[in-house]
Structure 1
Amino acid sequence: MVNTGSMKKNDTPSILLASLSIGLVWLYFALVLLLGRSIGGMSVGLTFIASSIPFVASLVFILIRYVMHRGLIKSQQILTVSLGLILSLGSLIIADIAYSLYLNSRAFEKPHIENSRQYDPAFVGGELYPRRFFPTDENFWLYKPNLSVKGTHYGHFYHPELMQSPILAKSVFELHQFSCSIDQHGLRNTTPMGQADVLALGDSFTFGWAMDREKSWVGLLEHAIHRPIYNLGIDGASPKQELELLKYLLRTQEPSMRIRKILWMIYEGNDLEGSYESERPKPSSPSYTNQLFKGTLVQGLITIPSLIKEQAIITKLLNGDVALRFPTFQARDYNPYVIDGIRSWFPFFQSPVLGPRLFYPKYIEEAQQPLSYVLHHPNTPHLNQVFREMALLEKEFSFQVIVIIVPTGERLHGPFYENFPPISAEPHFIDYVSKVSESLGFQTLNLLSKLKPYADNELLYFRDDSHWNQRGHELAAEIIRSEVFQQ
């Protein structure tokens, strides 16, 4: 009697092809979903993924042999499924590449800078502002101490080629007067640390970007309450870095500090996306493998796995770089990235009341994100931990923390501009931070709701920068005085 369920010798190529196809599919999804992530406290690297491929392929080989031996599936079916998997994987990779090419075609080129232009005195943010440095191996900055600077500069959105646009040159770009004094502790203060019982903690909004100290909200509030405020603002700092700075000062300067209140400013724009590492970034040095294969074909092959992960549509969706949403219809003849025939990195919009302004595209994208972007962001658990640690410090050192949440100009003013892209109905990050803050017992001040009554009639942010203008600082100081210090 012939056993119809027995496996034939010529079935082996089909099984090998099936094992290979499933192994390739596993490799793709492992690179896209697992590479660089942490599982059970262990970081998944190329070595782990490479070593898993023989295991997966062998397991598939044994399983298919068993199924075919039982007569549950035929060799032709195995061959069809294998070819289907390979074609599907190839189509997925082609789609990834095509979508990356599409995004590249939509991206605007960096404006041309004349080779003869060695230095542009109109934008000296990197030269005028004090340098930051890591004083310890912990992840926080201080400024170069005992430094005073004074000068003028345009906002972050400035570029010399954009000055060829009449409307930008006349109505958007404005020279901002700026002076700054850094004390012996590496912070922007003229008052000795020991004389202040109120600390202002935050990023560039607290530092007072493009504002003289007496015109910033810290200086205005200090004058209004007749109490010195010590400014711990560091531009570009994340909540984690702000916490580490405070812990450092409590550790090294605590005997001379008499803190009663900390005004902790959280910014919607980039505080979720900032740095949450525990240690300062280490200078990267080439690995032995990279040095060994430098200049060879192998060096190019080593970069392929990371390129596959980077260009995958799945990666872009998981990271929130793109979102699935229905298309919106705007005037076809309007391109906010072309101003008077000149390409710009920053979109330009007009408001009948507020006038012209440039906006930051990254903040527009973030304002469009759903709640899941905040809930599933890899930094969200770290942000929660930062708040918990701040609550412990508040209890240990007997000071009061007031959390002040600052909206972006894109969220506050964007809806009042013509052709502005639609944003989420709810400010998800602001609401999330408010909920976390209040659950820990912090007094929480949401400036979005407090500034909204002014947003349709008064511009509170610079036209060429993402920071508050003079009016924005004035309102912030008055609101904080009224909500926090009013007797």
Structure 2
Amino acid sequence: MQKTKLKALTKILGQTALIALITFVMSEITLRIYNKINPSFVFYDSSYNRFRGKPNAPDYDFKLNSQGFKDVEFTVEKPAETYRILGIGDSFTYGVVPYQYNYLTVLEEKLNKSGQKTEVINMGIPGMGPRDYLSILVNEGLKLNPDRVVLSFYIGNDFLDNYMTANLRTEEKSYMIALIKSMIKIQSNYKGKVLNPTTVQYNDNLPTFTDEKYLEDTINKSNMFVRNPADGMFKGFVDDAVKDLIKIKQICDSQNIPLTIVIIPDEVQVNSQLQKQVKQAFDPNNQNLLDFEISNRLLTEQLQQANIDYLDLLPDFKATAQKTPLYKPNDTHWNIAGNRLAAELITQHLTAKNQP
């Protein structure tokens, strides 16, 4: 009798496992087909299109253009007597503020006031890194015949993006597992909206993450500021990122296109109160363990050696941040004031080079 029950139970468990496996496989196939038709950041994708906006999708009171960029429509052929600048970067370039406050939008306005008709094309896509900057320039940028490329390099994660992309966890390649993990992460950590629909009004003072979560994330990425790390790994990340920037420079040179790298500081580099919290978490007895400017020095040294024009925003942002908040609360991205300051500094830099 017991053998019969055990046999029946084994059969039921086997059937349940088979049904679960079939369901998982069918769901995996369905999600892959769906993602092929309608790409989403949730699922694994090695291309920079993973986080690309949907064509004509709403973003506050603005709509993305037909290519999914946070910009107005533009033609492949450059308008006559127009100086065209390509703005390449990650979520900083895309921006968390509405379109009219984005630093590239403001930059275009400022440059046009100088008398030279200027078009600044925002090709920012969240989640991109140096290797992606190279890809989008080659795949989509060069055909636009730009007169200058302004590439925004974010200190907070651009050094690590190539490494992270190359070392995506195996489970992220399962769409089902990626979907479940993404739902859990958004539910537990994210306080805002995944999209910026027209029904939502932008609030410059609304925190994106909780204080605890934001501090945790800031602490985790502050390993790049450790003085003389024993493993020297971060120097390797710098070298890897610069290799791609050098390739971009070589391509731009071959097309006679000037290149400017805009170095975007992380908030912890300019926020003294946040620095105190991070130092306390690392080692309360060693306040000299961290050097919040070391990453910029390592980068600018190599850019100088490669003869790449750059603008490091850190000094001006650090000085201004003592009186004016430049980052959206608990977000890492610039608020409206931060975008405005960046646009002003970039305008000054480009104008000083006798270029729009």
Q: Would you say the 8 A contact 1:218–1:231 is kept in 2?
A: yes
**Secondary structure of the equivalent of 1:458?**
coil
Q: Which residue of 2 aligns with 1:148?
A: 57
Number of equivalences: 259
User: Based on CA coordinates, which of the two structures has the bigger radius of gyration?
Assistant: 1
SS at match of 2:153: strand
Residues 143, 187 of structure 1: 8 Å contact kept: yes
- Kept in 2, the 8 Å contact 1:218–1:477? The answer is yes
Change in 2 beyond 3 A, CA 1:142/1:460: closer
Aligned structure 1 segments of 4 or more residues deviating by more than 6 angstroms: 278-283
2:87 maps to which residue?
200
Deviation, structure 1 residue 132? 4.8
| Residue correspondence of structure 1 range 298-447 to structure 2 within 5 A | 344-347=212-215, 360-367=218-225, 369-372=226-229, 375-377=232-234, 378-414=236-272, 421=279, 422=287, 424-425=290-291, 427-447=293-313
Give the corresponding residue for 1:244. 135
Instruction: State the shift of 1:343 in Å.
Output: 8.8
Q: Are residue 186 (structure 1) and residue 68 (structure 2) matched?
A: yes
Return the alpha-carbon distance in structure 2 between the equivalents of residues 360 and 403 of structure 1: 24
Q: Distance in 1 between matches of 2:156 and 2:231?
A: 12
Please say if residues 269 and 275 of structure 2, whose CA atoms lie closer than 8 Å, have aligned partners that are also in contact.
Answer: no
Give me the whole-angstrom Cα distance separating, in 2, the residues matched to 1:261 and 1:373: 40
Tell me which residue corresponds to 2:21. none
1:258 to 121, 145, 159: 145
**CA distance, structure 1, for counterparts of residue 95 and residue 84 of structure 2:** 20
Q: CA RMSD in A?
A: 3.4
Separation in 2 of the partners of 1:148 and 1:466?
24
Match of 1:52 in 2: none
Distance 1:446 1:343 in 2: 28
The letter for the 2-side match of 1:273 is L
Residue 391 of structure 1, CA deviation: 1.8
Q: Give the Cα–Cα distance (whole angstroms) in 2 for the partners of residues 223 and 424 of structure 1.
A: 39
Contact 1:239–1:271 (8 Å) recurs in 2? yes
- Listed as ranges, the matches of 1:83-102 within 5 Å are none
Equivalent residue of 2:150, what SS?
A: strand
Deviation at 1:475, TM superposition (A): 0.6
Q: Is the CA contact (8 Å cut-off) linking 1:363 and 1:410 kept in structure 2?
A: no
Supply the distance in 1 between the matched residues of 2:212 and 2:249 (Cα, whole angstroms): 43
Kindly tell me: are residues 464 and 241 of structure 1, through their superposed partners in 2, closer, same or farther at Cα, counting changes over 3 Å?
A: same
Other-structure match for 1:339: none
Partner of 1:231: 122
Do the aligned partners of 2:264 and 2:312 also contact (CA within 8 Å) in 1?
A: yes
Change (3 A) 1:481 1:371: farther
1:189–1:139 CA distance, 2 compared to 1 (3 A):
closer
Deviation at 1:224, TM superposition (A): 0.6
**TM-score, normalised to structure 1's length?**
0.47
Q: Which runs of 5+ in 1 are unaligned?
A: 1-129, 151-177, 286-341, 348-357
Alignment CA distance shift 1:418-1:270 (3 Å):
closer
SS across alignment from 1:484? helix
Aligned residue type for 1:183: N
For 1:360, the aligned partner's letter is: T
Counterpart code for 1:213: Y
* Code of the aligned partner of 2:233: H
Distance 1:279 1:428, change over 3 A: closer
Equivalent pair of 1:199/1:232 in contact (CA under 8 Å):
yes
Do 2:211 and 2:330's aligned partners in 1 also have CA atoms closer than 8 Å? no
CA distance in 1, matches of 2:290, 2:150: 28
Tell me what 1:324 maps to: none
Query: What is the aligned partner in structure 1 of residue 107 from structure 2?
Result: 221
| Matched-pair contact (CA < 8 Å) for 2:219–2:278 | no
Code of the aligned partner of 1:265: S
- Tell me, in whole angstroms, the C-alpha distance in 1 between the residues paired with 2:88 and 2:134: 9
Identity %: 17
Greater relative contact order structure (CA < 8 Å, 6+ sep): 2
In the alignment, what sits opposite 1:474?
340
Q: Is the 8 A contact 1:137 1:280 kept in 2?
A: no
1:483 — aligned with what? 349
Aligned-residue offset at 1:232: 1.2
Question: In the aligned structure 1, how far is the partner of 2:87 from the partner of 2:315?
Answer: 21
- Flag structure 2 segments of 5+ consecutive residues without an equivalent: 1-38, 113-117, 175-209, 280-286
Deviations 1:405-462 (A, max 9, x none): 1111111113577656246235121111111222221111110012222121111111
CA contact (8 A) 1:191 1:228 kept: no
**How far apart are 1:141 and its partner, in Å?**
4.2
Letter in 1 for 2:52: Y
